Structure 1
Amino acid sequence: MSFEDEMKAALDTFVVESRELLQDMEDGLLGLEHDPNPADSIGAIFRAAHTIKGSSGLFGLDHIVHFTHVVESVLDMVRNEEIPVSAEIIAVLLPCRDHISTLVDGIAAGILQETPEQHALGEALHVQLRSFLNGAGQSQVQVVSQENEQTPHTSGGGAMDSGNWYLSLRFGADCLRNGMDPLSFIRYLSTLGDVVNLLTVTDAIPEIEKMDAETCYLGFEVVLKSSASKEAIENVFEFVREESTIRIVPPNSKIDEYIDIINNLPDDTELIGEILIKSGVLTKHELDECLRLQAQRHKGADGKASEAPIGEILVKQEMLQQPILNAALNKQQQVKDTKAREKQNIRVDAERLDKLIDLVGELVIAGAGANLRANKTNDVALLEATGEVMRLVEEVRDSALQLRMVPIGTTFSRFQRVVRDVSIELGKDIALEISGGDTEVDKSVVDKIGDPLMHLVRNSMDHGIEVAALRAARGKPAQGTLRLNAYHESGSIVIEVSDDGGGLNRDKILAKAIERGLVMSGANLSDKDIYALIFEAGFSTADQVSNLSGRGVGMDVVKRNVTSLRGTIEIDSEMGVGATMRIRMPLTLAIIDGFLVGVGDSSFVIPLDNVIECLELPRLEVGDEYMDLRGEVLPFIRLRQLYDVPGTVPRRENVVVVGYGEHRAGLIVDCLLGEFQTVIKPLGKLFQHLQGIGGSTILGSGEVALILSVSSMLSQVTRKSKQNYLQNG
């Protein structure tokens, strides 16, 4: 892999991890106002900003470092309770989070430099942040500039008076192999202050024939003029701390600390001494004293060396207090625990996962073909072997699909921000309640359900939940409630968007539908049929057009998108109480367990989760459209007639009783062929208008079978039954 490819891979990882941190940051900010103990959340938000800033510095993304540094400073003051948590500070920090997200999106698009528009927006946000920094009752915190202005940093350990820090850095041999650029750490140091002097140490470089191009031999002696805290400077090297030797001496430290540094320096102590003197770290007298004490320590009265170096990172003796040491040890253990957990997880590219699912699908088809041919041979040993192969293929299929299953709560949590922003825009007080967030669904479904949910949420907030005055008049609390819920039901996932608003106005919807010619005047429709009219294209009952709704677009898009996912949507509503939009969709869009049936020479696959039972068709009269199923009236569909399948009707037919939600029906077929693992192949655009067909699959014999969409077929049955009822009175 070339250096360019490695950098691109590293940047891709940076983008993915930054987006995750930004989502965590948004979730934390949204919950901050109502958190009785916000300290942990504030700490998590601060760490997210700090990590993004640090990672950006490693890649030389100075514009992200520049902007995030100020955000970090404000968060640090919030963390230290110098700035109180309030709606005002959150209202500023959320757009700042969005701006960082925009900058990261630019990196993902290959834009590594800040655009003029981004710079202008960043400066405008900095102005808002400065108002909090300057009004916090502390000494004004200066904002870091692109020209490396001096920036006090108060991360954790508290700011110190500006002085010269001495850093002795020896990077690990595998630093380059691990994707780290030593110079990026020096660039990042410059965001905390001014690099007064820099000496590159190359004494570890071997003879040229023994050199390894991927091994790092570099070290640096750095003098940094900064008022940053020691913790802030240490955190610069967080990503290389374990494999490198980092020694940090604060300004005005004791002579002993410099002696220990000099003990571990290369042979050229004269050059190091000159740097220390010119930088104002030590006077010439102090340096002479260091060298004298150094010589005494290396050779005691008995001629033996004494006193080992102090350690990897030096601190003042007065800082060696037990609480500080305990905190440092706890933090070190937390880092180790985090890295141990990270080793248990790996990040897999989505395209590779999709490729795996495709290959498993082909394996399912090939396995079915082998099993079919084995059945024709009547070879017991071969049947056992193919049966075992099919069992293993099924396990591989389930495991592969499980890799793509993700909790829907990730999608739900993103609506916290939507509800907050839209509430402010509408002038309403609305709270979001989430339940069933741990319900798992295929990632392909999660990716495609976001837009429909967005329309439903915004519609409920705009049309459903009333303004505070109207709610008070109806005896409701001033704060409205929007609920997102998810659960599994019969092999499907059900997602509900509910509100405690005014509900749908049945009469108003019906009148509008009659006015537009969607319904005949005098038609006898159920409440659910009337509610379903809001999904017609261009349909709206809004008295006024707003930025959110009222133009008659959106709800028809919701239904179209849900239908494309082989799902359905229905509405429950009660005037003055509220409404619930309920979406039902399959758990996965790739592979399903199916039940294979035959009609003439054609084969059809019914999703197994929709199959309730199978039975022989009882004797019916000509023209019957219903049958008696143990005292229950069951409508049925003859697949031969529905799809115009040629051939002679067999003497004995079968009924497959299917269900979806609360609806039931029977499908009349010629023969039952048993369970079948089905790889779903989408229909081409030419056939997407077909009702009752959810896709196709390839059988083991090589033939194509249509996969039935039970939800669509049951909708047809329901409509047909109502038409017959209206026609026959």
Structure 2
Amino acid sequence: MTTLDPRDVFLAEASELLERLETTLLDLGDRPDDTALIDTAFRALHTIKGSGAMFGFDRVAAFTHDFETAFDRVRRGQIAPSVDLINVALSAKDYIRTLIEEPDPDTAVIGEAILAELDRLVGGAPAQPAAAGPMPPAPAPTPNGWRIGLTFAPDILRNGSNPLALLDELAELGACTIVPRLGDLPDLEDLDPESLAIGWDVTLVGPVGREAIEDVFLFVRDAMTLTLEPLVLEPVAQAMVAQAAATQAPAAASKPAQAAVAVPVAPVSEATALTAAASTALVAPAPPDRNTPDRSLSERRPPPRAASTMRVEAERLDELMDRVGELVIAQARLSQLAGLQADAGIKTIAEEIERLSAQLRDTTMGIRMVPIGTLFSRFRRLVHDLSRDLGKPVTFVTDGEETELDKTVIERLADPLVHLIRNAIDHGVEAPECRVAAGKAETGRIALTAQHAGAQVLVSVRDDGAGLDVARIRAKAEERGLVQPGTPLTDQQVYQFLFAPGFSTAHEISALSGRGVGMDVVKKTIEALRGSIDITTEPGAGTAIVLRLPLTLAIIDGLLIRVGEARYVLPLAAVEECIELPGDRHIGHGRDFLSIRGDLVPFLRLRTLFEATGEPDPHQKVIVVSVGETRIGLVADQILGNHQTVIKSLSKLHADVATFSGATILGDGTAALIIDPAQVAAAGQPDGLRAYQEVA
């Protein structure tokens, strides 16, 4: 059994913290007045600094400390988070990631330049707010102490936090008394030892700033309610509290005291607005009378247990999926053997194992499913940087973040989406002056959405730019010899030229585009994922590129067919319907067509395509499959039925066989190839486009 290196734990947590920091900084750029975002960013920096020092990442801790010090002025309200400050903070975040992943001493000059820029931005006079408003009131006099109320979330103990340790840290700031709140304690039979049901009232005396108290609870602020009320005490009262706290503090820190010290409080003026100081004594709340029936306590139920999670290595999930796949193959073999036996008991066991293996398969596939929002959040920074570099203000909108996909699909989907978003901003969205001249808003819009559609997930990238120029794309394709002039092509077929290697309509090569590489990568990656690409555009209104992707790449529902003596599998998600091969067929342009409810659908004979031997079945079947907007019929000798298909990759020797996307093991131990509908459908395209696809 492998042990997990603590440094690996830090690297994983630091990556999550940096992603959270980036998201928070981007949100802060949109909402600079949101103090909660500032606190979240500060807590992320503080955690990275502390963890980095703990695990020996001294350069990370030192740089983050300086970063945190500069950002602390923003947290205290002395500096407004301007656009320049957010950009430099994002660069600082990138540098922290570099220090963690590639700690090269030669990059120290980069860190020094970033810190110098940070110091320049926060070292001047405090920035004025963007909108004019009333002047803030003068700060209240420094209090002699604080009356503090602490209420923690019931599940804080399950999260590993220790409220008593926080009380110890609070007691180190000055003389204090601690009184527990026992009014919310449940009855003994309803008591949950893992649920916190008490709070504390603390009186802290001494010249302690509000920030020092808030820093004690920095990491649990999201799981507690903290109230602070300043106190202005007479000197005699200060001495009384200090003396009492000195004798009771050790006991109070480990076991909160049951009584408080009464201290006189000085009168407070209205300017300080210290309403709590009007009282003349601090009295501990009386314990509840157990002899008096309390309806609220009798009806109280223990709080529900919080859902727990654990971190698992991705390799273990892959190994688990492989084992489940082998189990599905063995179960298919058992079911086939049981069907040949007359023993009802064996058939019953085979059916039970089939049910259990199906449940285990669904559970394992569910574990591998990840919300696509984890991928979408990465592109906010990309849009932010491209918008700044190209001088095109762009609003980035996402929807469907909760849509789940197999983790392998999400990992391989990142690069195609990067290219699509870059093209949408560079080629799709017009310059601000062009948009204004066309009657549009100066700010462009990029929408990234995801949604389920049966056994597929549709991921779309939409812009509100000028749209695609069909004539220009076709002219470029004819210039490169991808299609013969005059060949009749639909708009959808013309759009496919965008995915040809080296194809670009840019007038000049820039740092972002012009070499015709990006869309070629998109096409190859999506086809490797057994997906397809749809393009829709409207001149002057924008373009939408929709990626149709399978939910998973491990186990799929397939349609088992026979062609000659061999058996093949078609992904069931691509199958529309199955019909008998009719006698009335149409011939046009050298191809066969079927008339299905008034629509002409081209069809291919798989016996001819696969060079099958033997006599064809007298009652052949046509399986109509759809790839995007293309429908095509595939003629097979026999349809054997549905099949749970465990996908096995082809060897490197078969890498150039584009017709098949993989193979599977059948119940009798023989192999069956999995047909790629997109590649087979390409054989039914016009000659000019087919020649292009063979080259691509």
- TM-score norm. by structure 1 comes to 0.71
CA 1:379 to 1:486, structure 2 compared with 1: closer, same or farther past 3 Å?
Answer: same
Aligned-partner SS, 2:5: helix
Q: Deviations over 1:568-599 (max 9, x none)?
A: 22322222221122211211111101111112
Q: Deviations over 1:607-661 (max 9, x none)?
A: 1222233333323569772223233323222211111111111222222232333
1:117 aligns with 2:113: no
- Provide the residue aligned with 1:548 in structure 2: 512
RMSD: 3.9
Code of the aligned partner of 1:490: G
2:428 pairs, out of 464, 468, 480, with 464
- Provide the residue aligned with 1:668 in structure 2: 635
Contact 2:57 2:100 in 1 (8 A): no
- Provide the residue aligned with 2:186 in structure 1: none
1:74 to partner: Cα distance: 3.4
1:105 aligns with 2:101: yes
- Provide the residue aligned with 1:627 in structure 2: 594
Q: Deviations over 1:681-715 (max 9, x none)?
A: 11123223323312100111110101111232223
1:564 to partner: Cα distance: 1.4
CA distance in 2, matches of 1:313, 1:127: 47
- Provide the residue aligned with 2:12 in structure 1: 16
CA 1:647 to 1:254, structure 2 compared with 1: closer, same or farther past 3 Å?
Answer: farther
Unaligned ranges ≥5, structure 1: 139-157, 162-177, 179-225, 240-251, 266-307, 324-338, 725-729
CA distance in 1, matches of 2:594, 2:79: 72
1:31 aligns with 2:59: no
CA 1:670 to 1:541, structure 2 compared with 1: closer, same or farther past 3 Å?
Answer: same
Code of the aligned partner of 1:565: L
Contact 2:650 2:663 in 1 (8 A): yes
1:61 to partner: Cα distance: 2.7
2:47 pairs, out of 44, 51, 63, with 51
Aligned-partner SS, 2:389: helix
1:686 aligns with 2:675: no
2:473 pairs, out of 505, 509, 531, with 509
- Provide the residue aligned with 1:473 in structure 2: 437
Instruction: Give the % identical residues.
Output: 40
| 1:518-529 correspondence runs (5 A) | 518-529=482-493
Aligned residues: 572
CA distance in 1, matches of 2:92, 2:328: 49
1:448 aligns with 2:412: yes
2:116 pairs, out of 117, 127, 132, with 127
- Provide the residue aligned with 2:90 in structure 1: 94
Code of the aligned partner of 1:364: V
2:675 pairs, out of 674, 697, 708, with 708
1:232 to partner: Cα distance: 7.3
Contact 2:534 2:547 in 1 (8 A): yes
CA 1:622 to 1:373, structure 2 compared with 1: closer, same or farther past 3 Å?
Answer: farther
1:411 aligns with 2:400: no
Contact 1:70 1:129 in 2 (8 A): no
CA 1:454 to 1:534, structure 2 compared with 1: closer, same or farther past 3 Å?
Answer: same
1:499 aligns with 2:466: no
Aligned-partner SS, 1:433: strand
1:485 to partner: Cα distance: 1.4
CA 1:480 to 1:554, structure 2 compared with 1: closer, same or farther past 3 Å?
Answer: same
Contact 1:260 1:310 in 2 (8 A): no
1:696 pairs, out of 660, 663, 667, with 663
CA distance in 2, matches of 1:671, 1:15: 54
The more displaced of 468-477 and 659-668 is 659-668
1:391 aligns with 2:343: no
Q: Deviations over 1:146-169 (max 9, x none)?
A: xxxxxxxxxxxx9x99xxxxxxxx
CA 1:630 to 1:119, structure 2 compared with 1: closer, same or farther past 3 Å?
Answer: same
The more displaced of 509-518 and 129-138 is 129-138
Aligned-partner SS, 1:466: coil
CA 1:341 to 1:721, structure 2 compared with 1: closer, same or farther past 3 Å?
Answer: farther
Code of the aligned partner of 1:414: R
CA 1:263 to 1:130, structure 2 compared with 1: closer, same or farther past 3 Å?
Answer: same
- Provide the residue aligned with 1:348 in structure 2: 312
CA distance in 2, matches of 1:236, 1:312: 23
CA distance in 2, matches of 1:82, 1:264: 35
1:354 to partner: Cα distance: 0.5
Q: Deviations over 1:372-422 (max 9, x none)?
A: 111111333222221121111111111101111111122112111101101
1:542 to partner: Cα distance: 1.0
1:85 aligns with 2:87: no
Unaligned ranges ≥5, structure 2: 128-139, 144-159, 161-207, 222-234, 267-273, 278-302, 692-696
CA 1:118 to 1:670, structure 2 compared with 1: closer, same or farther past 3 Å?
Answer: same
CA 1:540 to 1:372, structure 2 compared with 1: closer, same or farther past 3 Å?
Answer: same
Contact 1:491 1:587 in 2 (8 A): yes
- Provide the residue aligned with 2:615 in structure 1: 648
- Provide the residue aligned with 1:428 in structure 2: 392
Q: Deviations over 1:170-209 (max 9, x none)?
A: xxxxxxxx9xxxxxxxxxxxxxxxxxxxxxxxxxxxxxxx
Contact 2:683 2:690 in 1 (8 A): no
CA distance in 2, matches of 1:444, 1:610: 20
1:136 to partner: Cα distance: 4.4
CA distance in 2, matches of 1:629, 1:441: 34
CA distance in 2, matches of 1:510, 1:58: 60
CA 1:73 to 1:622, structure 2 compared with 1: closer, same or farther past 3 Å?
Answer: closer
CA 1:709 to 1:490, structure 2 compared with 1: closer, same or farther past 3 Å?
Answer: farther
CA distance in 1, matches of 2:23, 2:407: 21
CA distance in 2, matches of 1:399, 1:58: 38
CA distance in 1, matches of 2:122, 2:393: 29
CA 1:424 to 1:379, structure 2 compared with 1: closer, same or farther past 3 Å?
Answer: same
| 1:604-615 correspondence runs (5 A) | 604-615=568-579
Aligned-partner SS, 2:311: coil
Q: Deviations over 1:105-126 (max 9, x none)?
A: 24xxxx5xxx423332222221
Aligned-partner SS, 1:486: strand
Aligned-partner SS, 2:674: strand
2:535 pairs, out of 531, 552, 571, with 571
1:229 to partner: Cα distance: 5.6
CA 1:309 to 1:510, structure 2 compared with 1: closer, same or farther past 3 Å?
Answer: closer
1:471 to partner: Cα distance: 1.2
Q: Deviations over 1:243-269 (max 9, x none)?
A: xxxxxxxxx99697689778999xxxx
CA 1:310 to 1:384, structure 2 compared with 1: closer, same or farther past 3 Å?
Answer: closer
Contact 1:64 1:103 in 2 (8 A): yes
Aligned-partner SS, 2:684: helix
Contact 2:482 2:689 in 1 (8 A): no
CA 1:257 to 1:701, structure 2 compared with 1: closer, same or farther past 3 Å?
Answer: farther
- TM-score norm. by structure 2 comes to 0.74
CA distance in 1, matches of 2:448, 2:98: 28
CA distance in 1, matches of 2:598, 2:661: 31
CA 1:621 to 1:487, structure 2 compared with 1: closer, same or farther past 3 Å?
Answer: closer
Aligned-partner SS, 1:625: strand
Contact 2:483 2:689 in 1 (8 A): no
1:103 to partner: Cα distance: 2.0
Code of the aligned partner of 1:126: L
